[in-house]
Amino acid sequence: MRESEFEQLVEQYQRLVYTICFQMTRDRDTAEDLVQETFLSAYLHRDRCNPENIRPWLCRIATNKAKDLLKSAYHRKVALADEDQELALMGETSPPEDLVIDSAMKDQIAQQIRALHEPYLQVSVLYFLEQMPVEEIAARLGRPVKTVHTQLYRAKRILQQQLIKGGIIHDSV
């Protein structure tokens, strides 16, 4: 596909791709960014697409880009920060008793983490309490990254069971 043909493709499907991205994200700026990412990806992989399947191919790329964004930890963190900021702008903040409860719950959870046995203790402290990335934990402890992921998964399950048993969290979590 030549560059001029790709430009025509962008002109033809730009609105469709934007609509897909906007319907999934409900944010105009994010949808515009995803349109750019979609067409960049399509351009980089244009040799893989059969010309008769351009429309479904672009739709699939756009859908996958939006899904990836929505699943990303960064997006969830930014969305939560935006919600907190909106509440603060509206004058709505958590009542002081909720902050005390949250603080007490954090302390109980930290105690449960520190009560874990190896091989989960060091990994959990570094990940949950010191918020260290998995790759850095693996390097520091001299363990494979996959092993650290497995240990964190198992530690989460153990912690969840202990927190439910202790009444700190409910079973629906």
d(CA 39, CA 161): 45
With cut-offs at 50, 70 and 90, classify the pLDDT of residue 40. very high
End-to-end CA separation in angstroms for the chain: 50
Chain-centroid distance of CA 2 in Å reads 36
pLDDT in tens, 72-104: 755 555 555 555 555 555 555 555 544 444 666
- Outline where 45-95 has alpha helix (H): 54-71, 73-89
What is the Rg, in whole angstroms, of the alpha carbon atoms belonging to the chain? 23
Domains of the chain: 3-75 (1.10.1740.10), 96-165 (1.10.10.10)
What is the predicted pLDDT for the residue at 22? 92
Q: Over 80: is that where the pLDDT of 143 sits? A: yes
What is the predicted pLDDT for the residue at 6? 87
